[in-house]
Amino acid sequence: MVKHIVLICMLTLGIYGNATDPWWDTTWHYRAELNINSAVVNQTGKIDIDFAALGLPSALDENSIRIVKSDGTTVLTTQEFTDNLYADATDALNNDRGEVKFIIEDAGTVKYYVYYDTTANGTKTALPNSRTINGNFEHSTGSTPTSWTTGQANIGTNQPNNEVHPTGGEGTTVSVTDTGGTGQTRNANNVSHTGSAFHIHGYRDRQESGGNAEQTWIEKTFTVPSSNAGNMTYWLRVQGWDSAQYDNIRVIINGTTIDQNNLNISNSAITVNTTRYGESSGYTTYADSGWTQASLSLSSYLGQTITVRIMHQTATDNGWKFWQLIDDMEWSLKSLTTGAQETLPNMSVAKSSCVIADPVNGTSNPKRIPGATIRYAFQVSNTGFVDASNVIVDDTLNASFNTASIANLQIQSGVCNCAGVTSASANPAPGTGNGVHPIKLNFGTVAGGSVGSPTRECGYFEVDIQ
């Protein structure tokens, strides 16, 4: 990374960033380490990050979030930032924090970086939704559940629900009338488990109209880690009039219906058996199970790519509406930690001068007159976390100076003290020195600092006025 700052008096500062790991993109100003121990490829990394608490100075650009390998080149293929989720709960929007998830691509002790920026530094282009996990449906395109596949079979005239909600105009409840069965009207809960989006499949907004056991489904394909696979979980909410005997839900993996008892659903409002689950009450009674978690061990699928289908199936009758809400699918979660906020080298230079002698007054109250010797001081400061290497200050003098008199170039650590520094020793950079013009002061590496405690170095030289 090269940066130049040009000040009056033709001063130029050249800087090269030098971090332990290369910086991915210098248009991104901030990053933090993400550290994972004993990682397995295809696990899901998940962490809540409060960017303001990390030290972000102003509003977060949510589009800027990127998970990048420590090689400074590879952006992880599947990743997402969800603004309105934090600590597994719905969170306020635009408060500079949220949930970060990604699919781990390396094994063992892994270090990734989360890169981010402020809106003040220019809005970045967001990654496409197709690269997200989207188990929470927050990254869907309208009512289409991005990164999922939906399908249906044996459907009659009326189309079932099989889309992301809420849709336009829906409130926290939706009035539903079972016109083909009881004729009852109920206000169905229409709120997600977390965040603002969820998926519905089955018959809620329209009555069944087929006669051959209509099916609607949603499915997701992912690769299970080869070890430490953990669990797949999702949240479900069964609503409607029909019982599990007639309308029900089935979880099918790679074309095989699993034993639904293995989903560990614990809710007295839901009946679970080996092939299905659904409402436990009779088919003339409206019921709402409330949000319930299903959890399936993935130990039987180690290293396999699996397609998990959650399928709604109806009886051959066209009465007693029944549907399911789905939200927050996750699998093979892996914990990780976040390091400190890092920034690019953030360099500044301040130029000052003092008169150290003149031909009339000597060193006693000297004046800026022809023949006077002027000492220039260049204070270089690094407020960035990252070291800056090859820090070079170039200064070009105008015709008012005798460039042949340039002398006593030196570099000292700390704050500049133009009047106090001695000129007994010179410390020229290679290729520069007494009488060399333009002046070049090589500061080498200036260690990273912070805004509150910058690292400072000072360069000096002396020159006579003509």
Asked if 449 and 405 sit in the same domain, the reply is: yes
| 370 φ, ψ (degrees, to nearest 5) | -50, 135
DSSP result, 129-194: GGGS--TTSTT-BTTB-TT-EEEEES--SSPPEEEEE--TT--SEEEEE-TTTT--EEEEE---SS
Q: Is the peptide bond before 166 cis (omega within 30 degrees of 0)?
A: yes
Residues 6+ apart with CB under 8 A from 215: 152, 153, 154, 311, 312, 313, 314
Give the end of a domain, one of 342, 377, 397. 342
Asked if 121 and 153 sit in the same domain, the reply is: no
pTM: 0.80
Mean residue pLDDT across the chain? 91
- What confidence score (pLDDT) does residue 3 get? 32
Asked if 235 and 379 sit in the same domain, the reply is: no
Total of domains in the chain: 3
Q: Average pLDDT of 170-193?
A: 95
Q: Which residues, listed in sequence order, are joined to residue 442 by a DSSP beta bridge?
A: 392
How far from chain centre, in Å, is Cα 83? 9
- What confidence score (pLDDT) does residue 4 get? 30
Asked if 274 and 218 sit in the same domain, the reply is: yes
Q: Does residue 1 register a pLDDT over 60?
A: no
Asked if 133 and 159 sit in the same domain, the reply is: no
Q: Does residue 180 register a pLDDT over 90?
A: no
pLDDT band at 152 (very low <50, low <70, confident <90, very high): very high
pLDDT band at 133 (very low <50, low <70, confident <90, very high): very high
| Domain membership flag for residue 14 | no
Asked if 322 and 221 sit in the same domain, the reply is: yes
What are the distances in angstroms from CA 308 to CA 163, 296, 298, 388, 437?
17, 11, 11, 50, 72
Q: Does residue 117 register a pLDDT over 60?
A: yes
| Domain membership flag for residue 5 | no
Burial of 312 (0-12, 13-18, 19+ CB in 10 A): buried
Burial of 210 (0-12, 13-18, 19+ CB in 10 A): buried
Whether residue 146 contacts residue 129, with contact meaning beta carbons closer than 8 Å, is answered with yes
Q: Is the peptide bond before 430 cis (omega within 30 degrees of 0)?
A: no
Structure tokens at 50: 């409060």
Q: Write out pLDDT tens, residues 337-352.
A: 999 998 877 889 999 9
The better pLDDT of the pair 430, 406 is held by 406
Distance separating alpha carbons of residues 292 and 211, to the nearest angstrom = 30
Asked if 198 and 78 sit in the same domain, the reply is: no
| Domain membership flag for residue 416 | yes
Whether residue 79 contacts residue 105, with contact meaning beta carbons closer than 8 Å, is answered with no
Asked if 171 and 318 sit in the same domain, the reply is: yes
Give the end of a domain, one of 303, 329, 355. 329
| Domain membership flag for residue 253 | yes
- 105-121 b/e with 16+ CB inside 10 Å = b? bbbeebebbbbbbbeee
Asked if 126 and 170 sit in the same domain, the reply is: no
- What confidence score (pLDDT) does residue 448 get? 86
Q: Write out pLDDT tens, residues 228-286.
A: 999 999 999 999 999 999 999 999 999 999 999 999 999 999 999 999 999 998 888 99
Distance separating alpha carbons of residues 90 and 328, to the nearest angstrom = 12
Whether residue 383 contacts residue 454, with contact meaning beta carbons closer than 8 Å, is answered with yes
Asked if 172 and 42 sit in the same domain, the reply is: no
| Domain membership flag for residue 169 | yes
Tally of residues, the chain: 466
Q: Which range of residues forms the domain containing residue 186?
A: 149-329
Asked if 423 and 450 sit in the same domain, the reply is: yes
Q: Does residue 311 register a pLDDT over 70?
A: yes
Q: Does residue 97 register a pLDDT over 90?
A: yes
Structure tokens at 272: 């679970």
Whether residue 48 contacts residue 98, with contact meaning beta carbons closer than 8 Å, is answered with yes
Give the end of a domain, one of 342, 367, 395. 342
Asked if 186 and 246 sit in the same domain, the reply is: yes
pLDDT band at 15 (very low <50, low <70, confident <90, very high): very low
| Domain membership flag for residue 425 | yes
pLDDT band at 5 (very low <50, low <70, confident <90, very high): very low
| Domain membership flag for residue 410 | yes
The enclosing H or E element of 52 equals helix 51-54
Tell me the CA end-to-end span of the chain in Å, nearest whole number: 39
Q: Does residue 13 register a pLDDT over 60?
A: no
Radius of gyration of the chain (CA): 33
Q: Write out pLDDT tens, residues 52-82.
A: 999 999 999 999 999 999 999 999 999 999 9
| Domain membership flag for residue 143 | no
Number of other residues whose CB lies within 10 A of the CB of residue 261: 12
